[in-house]
Every structure is written in structure tokens, then in C-alpha cells.
């Protein structure tokens, strides 16, 4: 697995614009996106965003972060990839594009192999593990979409995978403060089914979600 790091002011300006467009969703789901100084959610112009980003952009800061992340990730990447492919039954890409940013939320991902990391949101020792978190998202994203798994249940599943003893090479111990009630039903099915058959696991939690939704509205 190879991490290819990318960062520039054009991407940062785009990141800020996209964050502002999704600000309502972020706030509704408990996120607090970071924006450049002097930029709020009141529809700033592209020129204003570009100027604010340019004032804060220091290339050395990004390159230092990339170097540190690459070193930390190398300490567990082979074992991580081997086990992740084994438990998810998914062949992972040989290369991942990692876009470094200081804006938006902590991390995000886009199929098939794009990861965005807001390195300013994390301590240095947390950054490589956050990339691992986003890679797990990529590994299960097709099933997430297929079975229409809600956002916070998706986050719970990813954290259950990362904290499982099979991936102890990560020493991952980060949990969300609130999974919005998805803990108990998700955890029970995960323990029973995920490592036997990920597909069956997703089928079962999808069925449970549908039954629960019908029970609330019927």
C-alpha cells in the first residue's frame, strides 16, 4: 500500500467552499468544521476564500505532516492491510491519495481510493490512525450504500472493526462521543456475524433498521 500525499492552496479553497455548502448538515450532526480566519458560512466569494486560505497556507507545515504520517503509517500498514482484506473480503487498492487540509471536519473519503485528512484537528500520533479509519470506510462503503446504513451506524461499525483484537496492530482506541442510539443493535449483530460473513451482517442490520422504522411509524 502506498500513500500519495497531495496539498495545495487550490484544493484548500475548494475544501472550504464544499464545507460551507454542507455546513447545515455538519452542524445538525454534531460536527464543528474549521474554516480560515475571517471566513464564515455567509456565502463568501471565491476570491475571499482564496485570499483567506493563502494567508494561512504554509507548505512546510503540510510537508512535515506528510512525512510524519508516512512514517507512522509504515509501522502498521502491512499487517493492517492483510487483516483488513481478510476480514472484509475486499481487495484494497495498491495506492491511496491522501489530501491534507486544515479545514472542514476531521476526515473523509471518496471511492475508490481518496482520503482527506484535516491534520490540524488531530495530535500527530492520531493522524496515521485516522487515515486507517478512512480506509476502513472505503473497504465497506459499497455495502453501506447497498444496504442504506445510516451515518452514525456506519461510524459505529468502522470503530468496532478498528478496535477489534484482530487489528491490535493499530492500538486504536478512539470512539465517538455519541452514536445516536446505534450502539446496542449494531454491536450485537457485529459480534455474532461480522467476522463470519460481512454480507450477512449488513443484511441483518438493514432488516433490523427497516423493522425498527416500521415499528415507529406504523
Confidence of residue 215 (pLDDT cuts 50, 70, 90): low
- Mean pLDDT lowest among 37-46, 49-58, 123-132, 196-205: 37-46
Instruction: Provide the CB-side half-sphere exposure for 123 (13 A, CA).
Output: 3
pLDDT value for 217: 42
pLDDT per position as a tens digit, 13-27: 999 999 999 999 999
- 10 Å CB burial of residue 169 (0-12, 13-18, 19+) is middle
Q: Is residue 216 pLDDT above 60, yes or no?
A: no
Residue 171 has φ and ψ, to the nearest 5°, of: 50, 50
pLDDT per position as a tens digit, 138-173: 999 999 999 999 999 999 999 999 999 999 999 999
Q: What is the DSSP string of 40-107?
A: -SS---HHHHHHHHHHH--HHHHHHHHHHHHHHHHTTHHHHHHHHHHHH--PPPSEEEEEEESSBSSE
pLDDT value for 218: 42
More confident position, 218 or 76:
76
Q: What's the mean per-residue pLDDT of the chain?
A: 95
pTM for the whole thing? 0.93
How many CB atoms sit inside 10 A of residue 135's CB?
A: 25
Q: CA-to-CA distance for 101 and 1, rounded, in angstroms?
A: 21
Q: What is the mean pLDDT of residues 39-56?
A: 94
Distances in whole angstroms, Cα of residue 139 to Cα of each of 7, 100, 107, 161, 217: 24, 20, 15, 11, 33
Amino acid at each position: 500500500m502506498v500513500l500519495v500525499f497531495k496539498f495545495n492552496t487550490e484544493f484548500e479553497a475548494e475544501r472550504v467552499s464544499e464545507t460551507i455548502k454542507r455546513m447545515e448538515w455538519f452542524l445538525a450532526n454534531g460536527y464543528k468544521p474549521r474554516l480560515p480566519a475571517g471566513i464564515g458560512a455567509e456565502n463568501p466569494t471565491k476570491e475571499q476564500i482564496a485570499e483567506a486560505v493563502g494567508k494561512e497556507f504554509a507548505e512546510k507545515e503540510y510537508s512535515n505532516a506528510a512525512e510524519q504520517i508516512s512514517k507512522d503509517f509504515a509501522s502498521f500498514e502491512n499487517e493492517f492491510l492483510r487483516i483488513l482484506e481478510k476480514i472484509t473480503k475486499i481487495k484494497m487498492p495498491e495506492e491511496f491519495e491522501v489530501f491534507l487540509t486544515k479545514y472542514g471536519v476531521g476526515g473523509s473519503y471518496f471511492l475508490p481510493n481518496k482520503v482527506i485528512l484535516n491534520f490540524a484537528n488531530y495530535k500527530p500520533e492520531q493522524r496515521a490512525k485516522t487515515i486507517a479509519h478512512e480506509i476502513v470506510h472505503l473497504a465497506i462503503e459499497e455495502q453501506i450504500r447497498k444496504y442504506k446504513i445510516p451515518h452514525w451506524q456506519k461510524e459505529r461499525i468502522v470503530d468496532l472493526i478498528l478496535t477489534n483484537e484482530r487489528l491490535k496492530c493499530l492500538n486504536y482506541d478512539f470512539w465517538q462521543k455519541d452514536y445516536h442510539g446505534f450502539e446496542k443493535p449494531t454491536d450485537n449483530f457485529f459480534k455474532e456475524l461480522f467476522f463470519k460473513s460481512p454480507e450477512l451482517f449488513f443484511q441483518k442490520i438493514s432488516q433490523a433498521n427497516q423493522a425498527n422504522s416500521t415499528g415507529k411509524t406504523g
